[in-house]
Structure 1
Amino acid sequence: MNVSIDKNSGYCFGVEYAIQMAEDELETSEQLYCLGDIVHNRMEVERLHQQGLRIIDREQLGTLHDCKVLIRAHGEPPETYELALRNNLTLIDASCPVVLKLQNRVKHAFDATQRQNGQIVIYGQPGHAEVAGLTGQTGNRAIIVMNEQDLDQVDFARPVTLFSQTTKSTAGFYRMKQLIEERIAAAGGALESFDANDSICRQVSNREPQLRKFAVEHDVIVFVSGRKSSNGKALFSVVNQTNPRSYFVENEQELEDAWFEGAQSVGICGATSTPMWLMQRVADRIQEIGAAVPA
């Protein structure tokens, strides 16, 4: 049984940058705080914990003074930086440049819509760290939508500016754009008052066609990702639609021998938050299973 790892999978630039910054800091510090999981992958979080990275939540952040805190790639709202100033916290800012640029765009769009009685709508996952950072640019007045029902919150008689969380599905964004256009038309509004901004990271969206090609080249696909990863859920959906014999695992311990019966070729791929070392560990375990499972 041939087992191969997708060369296009693994960390995106933003995640790789954040982890490198954490590792560099931990070389000279015994302990470093990080606001939220540095990456939506439990195995990587555990590895960095062993090096001294301590994950904290927002409530714990408020109790810290005179220490260093890493801001992960997802970015943070303005109030986090204000708190850091009050508590004399040194922020090691690993916010992804793509996310920072989007935050700036959302802030400028919000300021403009205030003069036009407009609304900022963000296609994204409620409660997600990146979305919290984006809505923070609007004083938490942006409307977050994930599905058609969420659009009931929007007043389509007023101007609408749409953005997307950077790791969402491209198809999902354009479906949401279409639904908004239909709602505006039904409300008798003007489409000229609707500004749709495809703000999905191209390093993420470009993986979709690459994954479809990879998925059809193998009998079985094993997709490795943390279950908290929004990007992981979106990319696995792409793989699963292309190849029904696709399986989602968090680590090699979740593999089942029966998945590989009759398989000549197995492909391993993952989310932008999946480390290459973890996909290699999964590959090694599948090789062991392949030696025992009849082809």
Structure 2
Amino acid sequence: MKVTIDKNSGYCFGVEFAIQMAEDELAHGQQLYCLGDIVHNRMEVERLHQQGLRIIDREQLAQLHDTKVLIRAHGEPPETYQLALQNNLELIDASCPVVLKLQNRVKHAFDLSQRQDGQIVIYGQPGHAEVAGLTGQTGNRAIIVMNEADLDQIDFARPVTLFSQTTKSTAGFYKMKALMEARIAAAGGELDSFDANDSICRQVSNREPALAKFAVDFDVVLFVSGRKSSNGKALFSVVNAINPRSYFIENESEIDEAWLAGAQSVGICGATSTPLWLMQQVAQRVEGVGEMA
């Protein structure tokens, strides 16, 4: 059985940068706090926990004083930085540069919309850390949409500016854009008042066609990702559409040997939040099954 790990899968720059910053701090042998899971991958969070990384929520953050806190790649809203000043917290800011740039764009668009009676709309997952950081740039007044029903929140007779969470599906974004244009036309509005911004990270979106090519080359594809990962869900849908013998797993323990029956080749790939070491463990497990067959 031939087992191949996709060379294009694994950490994006932003996640790799955040984990490197955490490991650099932990190398000094001190405990480090991180606001939220550093990455949407349970296995990696557990590995870093063993090194001293402690995940906290916002309520716990408010109780901390005079210590270091890591800001993960997803970015944070302005109030997090204000709280850090009040509590004398040293922030190790690992916010992804792509996310920071988008936050600035959203803030600028919101300030402009205030003068034009407009609305900021974000295509993203409600409650997602990145989305919280983006809506924070608007004083939490941005409208978050995930599906067509969510569009009922928008007044299409007024100007609308649309952005996307950086890890959403490109196809999903353009479908949402088309639905909004149809709503504007139905409301008798002007498309000139609709500003749609494809703010999806190209390092993420470029993986979609690459994964589609990868998935077609194997009898079975194992997609490795944390179940919390928005990017993982989007990328797996691409793989599964191409290869129906594709399976979503968090780690090697979830492999069902029946999936591999009759397979001559197995491809292993993952999300931008999937560490290489985890895909390698999956590959070793599959190779073990192949040797027993």
Q: Distance in 1 between matches of 2:170 and 2:137?
A: 23
Q: Distance in 2 between matches of 1:29 and 1:77?
A: 29
Establish whether residue 141 from structure 1 lines up as the match of residue 127 from structure 2.
no
Query: Secondary structure, in 3 states, of the residue corresponding to 2:105?
Result: helix
Q: Which amino acid is 1:198 matched to?
A: D
Alignment correspondent of 1:228 = 228
Query: Secondary structure, in 3 states, of the residue corresponding to 1:62?
Result: helix
**What TM-score do you get using the length of structure 1 for normalisation?**
0.99
After superposition, residues 14-29 of structure 1 pair within 5 angstroms as 14-29=14-29
Question: Unaligned regions of 5+ residues in structure 1, if any?
Answer: none
Could you list the per-position Cα deviations for residues 39-98 of structure 1 after superposition, in whole angstroms to 9, with x for gaps in the alignment? Answer: 000000000000000000000000000000000000000000000000000000000000
Could you list the per-position Cα deviations for residues 79-127 of structure 1 after superposition, in whole angstroms to 9, with x for gaps in the alignment? Answer: 0000000000000000000000000000000000000000000000000
Alignment correspondent of 2:193 = 193
After superposition, residues 65-214 of structure 1 pair within 5 angstroms as 65-214=65-214
Q: Distance in 1 between matches of 2:225 and 2:145?
A: 24
Q: Which amino acid is 1:283 matched to?
A: A
Query: Secondary structure, in 3 states, of the residue corresponding to 2:81?
Result: helix
Alignment correspondent of 1:248 = 248
Query: Secondary structure, in 3 states, of the residue corresponding to 1:283?
Result: helix
Could you list the per-position Cα deviations for residues 144-172 of structure 1 after superposition, in whole angstroms to 9, with x for gaps in the alignment? Answer: 00000000000000000000000000000
Q: Distance in 2 between matches of 1:111 and 1:182?
A: 26
Establish whether residue 42 from structure 1 lines up as the match of residue 42 from structure 2.
yes
Q: Which amino acid is 2:68 matched to?
A: K
Q: Which amino acid is 1:214 matched to?
A: F
Alignment correspondent of 2:12 = 12
Q: CA deviation at 1:27?
A: 1.0
Query: Secondary structure, in 3 states, of the residue corresponding to 1:54?
Result: strand
Query: Secondary structure, in 3 states, of the residue corresponding to 2:80?
Result: helix
Divergent runs of 4+, >4 A: none
Q: CA deviation at 1:29?
A: 3.9
Q: Distance in 2 between matches of 1:113 and 1:243?
A: 44
Identity among equivalent pairs (%): 83
RMSD between aligned residues: 0.4
Alignment correspondent of 1:63 = 63
Could you list the per-position Cα deviations for residues 252-294 of structure 1 after superposition, in whole angstroms to 9, with x for gaps in the alignment? Answer: 000010000111110000000000000000000000111223x
Q: Distance in 1 between matches of 2:181 and 2:292?
A: 55
Alignment correspondent of 2:31 = 31
Alignment correspondent of 1:261 = 261
Q: Which amino acid is 2:49 matched to?
A: H
Could you list the per-position Cα deviations for residues 3-38 of structure 1 after superposition, in whole angstroms to 9, with x for gaps in the alignment? Answer: 000000000000000000000001114200000000
Q: Distance in 2 between matches of 1:32 and 1:159?
A: 44
Q: Distance in 2 between matches of 1:290 and 1:165?
A: 40
Query: Secondary structure, in 3 states, of the residue corresponding to 1:161?
Result: strand
Q: Distance in 1 between matches of 2:174 and 2:113?
A: 22
Question: Unaligned regions of 5+ residues in structure 2, if any?
Answer: none
Q: Distance in 1 between matches of 2:279 and 2:142?
A: 37
Q: Distance in 1 between matches of 2:207 and 2:292?
A: 33
Alignment correspondent of 2:276 = 276
Q: Which amino acid is 1:21 matched to?
A: M
Q: Distance in 1 between matches of 2:284 and 2:62?
A: 43
Q: Distance in 1 between matches of 2:213 and 2:254?
A: 25
Q: CA deviation at 1:227?
A: 0.3
**What TM-score do you get using the length of structure 2 for normalisation?**
1.00
Q: Which amino acid is 1:44 matched to?
A: E
Q: Distance in 2 between matches of 1:290 and 1:267?
A: 13
Q: Which amino acid is 1:139 matched to?
A: G
Q: Distance in 2 between matches of 1:264 and 1:283?
A: 14
Q: CA deviation at 1:173?
A: 0.2
